[in-house]
Amino acid sequence: PRHGQSAATTPPNEPLPGEVEPWQAVAPIRPDTAFVRSPRLLNGLGEAFAALVLIGGGALLVGLATLA
């Protein structure tokens, strides 16, 4: 060391840069942006459309079965 200075050390409980804290490893962090909201909206719309197709298709098949 120059002029009697020692290298800087981090305090014992100080997190190091880039280190993951325990709460970050467990809790998902979702920023509220359009890039996050739009896939969730599309996923919900897709689920609703699939339910509509399944229920409508079943009703159609029951209707056709009563005609036969």
Locate 47 and state its tokens: 């689920």
On the question of pLDDT at 10 being above 80, the answer is: no
**What's the confidence (pLDDT) of residue 44?**
94
Is the backbone of residue 36 left (phi > 0), alpha (psi -120 to 50) or beta?
alpha
**What's the confidence (pLDDT) of residue 30?**
75
Q: Which domain holds residue 51?
A: 33-68
* Residue 1 domain-assigned (yes or no): no
pLDDT tens readout for residues 12-59: 777 777 787 777 677 677 778 888 889 889 999 999 999 999 999 999
What single-letter amino acid sits at 35? F
* Residue 13 domain-assigned (yes or no): no
**What's the confidence (pLDDT) of residue 12?**
75
* Residue 6 domain-assigned (yes or no): no
* Residue 12 domain-assigned (yes or no): no
Task: Output the pTM of the full model.
Answer: 0.49
